[in-house]
Amino acid sequence: MKHVIIIGGGYGGVATLRRLAKDKNIKITLIDKNIYHFLQTEGYELVAGTTPFDETIVNLQTLCGSYRKPIEFIQQKVENIDFEKKELICEDETLIHYDYLVIAVGSMTRFVKSVQGLRECSHGVKNLNGAFKMKQFFEKELFLRLESPQQAQIHYSMVIGGAGLSGVEIATEMQYYFNRYYKSNTLACNVLHIHLISGSKTILKGMHSSVIQKAEKRLRQLGVIIHAGSHIKSVETSQVLLENGKNISFDFMIFTGGIVPTGIVAKLDVKRNHLGQIIVDTSLRVPYKEGVFAIGDAAEIRDKNNKLIPDTAQVAIKSGHTVSHNIKRLIRHKKPHVNRIKIKSLAIALGGRYAILDLGFIRIYGLLAHYIKKITEKLYKYPLWLRCRYGFKKIESCKL
Ligand SMILES: Cc1cc2nc3c(=O)[nH]c(=O)nc-3n(C[C@H](O)[C@H](O)[C@H](O)COP(=O)(O)OP(=O)(O)OC[C@H]3O[C@@H](n4cnc5c(N)ncnc54)[C@H](O)[C@@H]3O)c2cc1C
């Protein structure tokens, strides 16, 4: 029986697992440094306090325990990979042998080194720990304002560096959240300001012009202050300096200006692109490393026309499907298939019950787009939660 190891139980790793779990002739091990899969696509709601944290996670141990055939889950950080010996080196120095390996370790915030003070003075939102800390910070800030009328009059500014998908979603959701408190007169949130900084001339660079226009309009309507067309030059404890000379004071800064693969990828003896992502072939194999695949944010994925595909959960899931299919083919001594990954749609949450859904040939705005996005998120997590509940029962009954 061939042993497939998946490193990383995020969108890509879980998608690979779900497809391979149906094959009786494969032994699967999932390794993740955390016991949970953080649903980053709902991270903006967690930060804004509109979704409880337990609704943004899927437990990997109970998920693995839910399948008929045994799937091993190991909570460990993988430190390195010996491609010659086909072995993983874990944090506790355990060595684990594989026949096929899927590297699905995702990414982390890219704090641009040339921007002085950025790493030290701003926060990322790529993991549950960071998002959770931010949520607690804002809730405490609002509570202090509720307690003291003097405190409630003090201006409070939050800066979001980076106006891509995650920056825009967080800005709109947080502003919507502040406005809601203000309208209900519970707090003087009219002195809370959100500044969104875009290095490009527009927000949501690369997206359809009408998506950009609508999103900008929504941000302004909510009261978000947009600073477009100037990169961040440096960051100090409580102010950010832009290249155009503008200074913005802040109490809290979030940076969402880009991603780099997680630490382990930089240690591997593989070819990487300028962002550090693993370069894979058309079947998502890592060249010259037998039986090794890389997927999701950790890899540079191109479509059949060699065009770069943006790093999204959707792409991570689809790349997981491609890889599971190709592993099954290789085990049966068949040629792997070329990936046919295409982005069919993109949904952007813009605060409250407003979203934009871009289907390529048509764009839907407002309430309908919001509900479609919500249904898509639920269709992803509910089947996983159901599995987890079943897995939990199975694990508990084994203990008796
Ligand atoms: C705020 C926000 C909003 C977003 N909104 C959207 C959206 O609306 N739509 C969309 O499609 N995409 C969205 N994205 C992007 C999307 O979340 C990512 O593209 C997606 O998570 C990538 O999936 P992945 O499987 O590659 O990595 P991840 O989901 O990040 O999973 C990687 C896993 O690897 C584990 N890991 C890392 N290193 C190690 C190691 N050394 N050893 C063991 N385990 C390790 C991690 O613990 C993690 O569980 C958003 C991202 C953010 C931050």
Distance CA(31)–CA(85), nearest Å, equals 18
The pLDDT of residue 190: 66
Does ligand 1 have an atom closer than 6 angstroms to the CB of 39? no
Give the number of C-alpha atoms closer than 13 A to the C-alpha of residue 84, restricted to the C-beta side: 1
Half-sphere exposure of 151 (CA within 13 A, CB side): 10
Give the chain's radius of gyration (CA, Å): 22
225-228 vs 192-198, strand pairing mode: parallel
Which atom of ligand 1 is found nearest the CA of 314? 11
Q: Ligand 1 centre from 140 Cα, in Å?
A: 27
- Are 240 and 197 contacting, i.e. CB atoms less than 8 angstroms apart? yes
Closest CA to ligand 1's atom 6? 41
Smallest CA separation from ligand 1 atom 2, residue: 166
CA 172, CA 222: separation in Å to the nearest integer? 7
The pair of structure tokens assigned to 200 is 């490009």
Residue from 29, 36, 41, 172 whose mutation best tests the ligand 1 pocket (most atoms within 8 A of CB): 41
User: What does each of the 400 residues of the chain score in pLDDT, given as a tens digit?
Assistant: 999 999 999 999 999 999 999 898 899 999 999 999 999 999 888 887 888 889 999 999 999 999 988 899 999 999 999 999 999 999 999 999 999 999 999 999 999 889 999 999 998 888 888 888 888 888 888 888 888 888 788 888 999 999 999 999 999 998 998 888 777 766 665 678 899 999 999 999 989 999 999 999 999 999 999 999 999 999 999 999 999 999 999 999 999 988 898 989 999 999 999 999 999 999 999 999 999 999 999 999 998 888 899 899 999 999 999 999 999 999 999 999 998 898 889 999 999 999 999 998 999 999 999 999 999 999 999 999 999 999 999 988 887 7
Write down the pLDDT at residue 186: 64
Q: Which atom of ligand 1 is nearest to the CA of 312?
A: 19
Domains of the chain: 2-108+259-399 (3.50.50.100), 118-255 (3.50.50.60)
**Centroid of ligand 1 to alpha carbon of 244 (angstroms):** 33
For the chain, the three-class secondary structure string (H helix, E strand, C coil) is CEEEEEECCCHHHHHHHHHHCCCCCEEEEEEECCCEEECHHHHHHHHHCCCCHHHHEEEHHHHHHCCCCCCEEEECCEEEEECCCCEEEECCCCEEECCEEEECCCEEECCCCCCECHHHHCECCCCHHHHHHHHHHHHHHHHHHHHCHHHHCCCEEEEEECCCHHHHHHHHHHHHHHHHHHHCCCCCHHHEEEEEEECCCCCCCCCCHHHHHHHHHHHHHHCCEEEECCCEEEECCCEEEECCCCEEECCEEEECCCEEECCHHHHCCCCECCCCCEECCCCCECCCCCCEEECHHHEECECCCCCECCCCHHHHHHHHHHHHHHHHHHHCCCCCCCCCCCCCCEEEECCCCCEEEECCCCEEEEHHHHHHHHHHHHHHHHHHHHHHHHHHHHHHHHHC
The answer, yes or no, to whether any atom of ligand 1 lies below 6 A from the CB of 167, is no
With a 6 Å cutoff on the Cβ, whether 300 touches ligand 1 is no
User: Which atom of ligand 1 has the smallest separation from the CA of 125?
Assistant: 53
> Does residue 166 have its Cβ closer than 6 Å to ligand 1?
yes
The β-bridge relationship of strands 355-358 and 346-349 is antiparallel
Q: How far is the CA of 297 from the centre of ligand 1 (A)?
A: 7
The tens digit of pLDDT for each residue in 339-354 reads 889 888 999 999 999 9
108 CA → ligand 1 middle, Å:
8
Q: Does the beta carbon of 16 lie inside 6 Å of ligand 1? A: no
Distance between CA atoms of 390 and 367, rounded to whole angstroms?
34
252, 157, 226, 223: CA torsion to nearest 10? 130
Please give the model's pTM, rounded to 2 decimal places.
Answer: 0.94
Give the distance (Å) from ligand 1 centre to CA of residue 81: 21
- The reply to whether ligand 1 has any atom less than 6 angstroms from the CB of 314 is yes
Distance (Å, rounded) from C-alpha 248 to C-alpha 236? 10
Q: Does the beta carbon of 36 lie inside 6 Å of ligand 1?
A: no
Ligand 1 site, residue 105, Cβ cutoff 6 A: yes
Our answer on whether the CB atom of 261 is closer than 6 Å to any ligand 1 atom is no
Q: How far is the CA of 28 from the centre of ligand 1 (A)?
A: 21
